[in-house]
Chain A
């Protein structure tokens, strides 16, 4: 089961947000949502610093995933610092390849090549949301809450 997709720029501000099966859902434009996004941005940012400083192998380490009792967060960061995070239920397998696809195919096509979009600003292009929605809904783990 897939819950939420977040995209952050390299200074940790939210560029994009979309959710699917969440029972507890913040309202669009509400204070709660803004808070959630800034918390998530800050978390990913701090985790990166944290991983870097405690990693036993020196540099070149990055956070790919963490889990709680209720959900799992998959994370992918592009070398230019755009962070993609997706939350799912605990049974969903690793989604890094999918996040990579969202970056290399959808993000590049609909955001980077959009002449109206300046790097790092929130994504307003509806084509991107549509493409992401379509792609995520087609994933085998989109709505099943068990191993497929």
Chain B
């Protein structure tokens, strides 16, 4: 947790309201573009997040100067306490499943949700903060863990917390891409 604080201090910050408003505008625009098809919007947010995650991971590793996580379960704590703190300013709680192949990240407070009220027609289908799933998925893939990442609870739907479920699919191998093998 201390490392999270430190990392948070080290990164550049932007105004929280500006951030949430921008994100809100993005989601609204996506809803318009996709003619209120929540499924498509969820996917689009995930895809945006995925690309962010692939980049964010280097910034994260460079700022925190952390070594590699040896096990998948170890990543849970690091994402919850350091990653979320560094990029969102809040830390999450990680509950690792007994199998060690999955965990959930619980956020008591989600800055993306601030000022947001979901209209009834979106309530059961839209995962407003789905971008976070993409980020986690992208970032973990860069450190060789291919995961599935989905929302299970969202405060905007009336749940008591925000919960993201991360499930390990496979541990990737480094593959050598040789251009010209004779």
**Contact across chains for A38 and B178 when beta carbons are under 8 A apart:** yes
Question: What residues of chain A lie closer than 8 Å to B67, measured between beta carbons?
Answer: 79
B180 contacts A by Cβ under 8 Å: yes
Whether A80 lies near B178 (C-beta < 8 A) is no
Query: Which of A11, A103, A105, A107 makes the CB contact (< 8 A) with B176?
Result: A11
Which residue from A11, A108, A113 sits with its C-beta under 8 Å from B175? A11
Stretch at the interface among B39-47, B54-62, B96-104, B156-164: B54-62
- Chain A interface size, as a band, is 20 to 34
Chain B residues, Cβ within 8 Å of A59:
70
Residue among B55, B62, B142, B174 with max Cβ neighbours from chain A (10 Å): B62
How far is A137 from B69 in the complex, measured between Cα atoms in Å? 34
Q: How far is the CA of A38 from the CA of B175 in the complex (A)?
A: 14
The answer to the question of B68 belonging to the interface, with a C-beta cut-off of 8 Å to chain A, is: yes
Q: Which listed residue (A13, A60, A81) contacts B142, Cβ 8 A?
A: A81
Interface centre among A60, A80, A82, A108 (most CB of B within 10 A): A80
Bound together, the chains give a CA A80 to CA B141 distance in angstroms of: 9
Q: Which range contains the number of B residues in contact with the other chain?
A: 20 to 34
Q: Contact between A45 and B174 (Cβ–Cβ < 8 Å)?
A: yes
- Residue of A11, A60, A80, A107 touching B57 (CB-CB under 8 A): A80
CB closest chain-A residue, reference B57: A80
CB–CB B58/A112 < 8 A? yes
Residue of B nearest to A62 (CB): B68
B-side contacts of A38, CB under 8 Å? 178-180
- CB contacts under 8 Å to B, within A4-23, are 10-13
Closest to B177 in A: A11
B18 within 8 A of A: no
State A70–B59 Cα separation when bound (angstroms).
Answer: 35
* Any B CB within 8 A of the CB of A91: no
Give A contacts to B, CB under 8 Å: 10-13, 34, 38, 42, 45, 48, 59-60, 78-82, 100, 103-105, 107-108, 112-113, 119
9 further A-B contacts with Cβ under 8 Å, apart from A79-B143, A107-B62, A119-B55, are: A12-B178, A13-B179, A45-B176, A78-B61, A79-B66, A79-B68, A80-B57, A103-B58, A103-B62
